[in-house]
Amino acid sequence: MNSILSKIVLLSILFSFSLSSQILEQQNKLLWDGTDWEHVANRVDGNPEMTYRIKSAYLTGVLDGRLYYYLKAWGEKQAFADSLYGDRVDYLTPRETVRQLDRFYEDPLMDFVPVVSAMIIVHMQAELVPKKVIDQYVTQTKYWINQLTLDMQSRGMHELLKEKQEKHSNKKR
């Protein structure tokens, strides 16, 4: 009985996230960032176990997607794939990654850094990469996310993605 109840609760939460992600998509939101990361606990009434499960599931999805695209690129050009996906984002355990991301997003200046980039940053910190290198990465990340946001606001997400798709299709020919 208890496992059925927990499955129902988990499905309810996933449904609410799906619904809220559709709303965010309508607001030209492309990537999860610190504001989304911090609101997970609110959406599950502060339940620490559910908060961890959702955050961990998100990280697992990001890593699965990364592996998929690495293998896809590796099939075309191994050296290119290795250079593109060379940074380690599995140095920390999932629980430690969640904890470090929670700490990272305590700084309000980092709220708009996408979770994907924040994962790389906290792993760089854990591997003791020089602070100057990390700061440069943070600056570059903030620049490209701001540029992407401005592009989406001026041209719209649909138009921007269509343009990227056409550009990619022309390269294949």
More confident residue, 146 or 23: 146
Is pLDDT above 50 for 25? no
Tens-digit pLDDT profile for residues 79-106: 766 766 666 667 788 899 999 999 999 9
Is pLDDT above 80 for 3? no
Predicted pLDDT at 9: 52
- For the residues 133-146, what does the mean pLDDT come to? 91
Q: Which of 7-16, 55-64, 103-112, 122-131 has the lowest mean pLDDT?
A: 7-16
- For the residues 113-129, what does the mean pLDDT come to? 91
Is pLDDT above 50 for 22? no
Tens-digit pLDDT profile for residues 49-71: 999 999 999 888 888 877 777 77
Tens-digit pLDDT profile for residues 26-49: 454 667 899 999 999 999 998 999
SS3 of the chain: the string is CHHHHHHHHHHHHHHHHHHHHHHHHHCCCCCCEHHHHHHHHHHCCCCHHHHHHHHHHHHHHHHHHHHHHHHHHHHHCHHHHHHHCCCCCCCCCHHHHHHHHHHHCCCHHHCCCEHHHHHHHHHHHHCCCCHHHHHHHHHHHHHHHHHHHHHHHHHCHHHHHHHHHHHHHHHHC
Predicted pLDDT at 91: 76
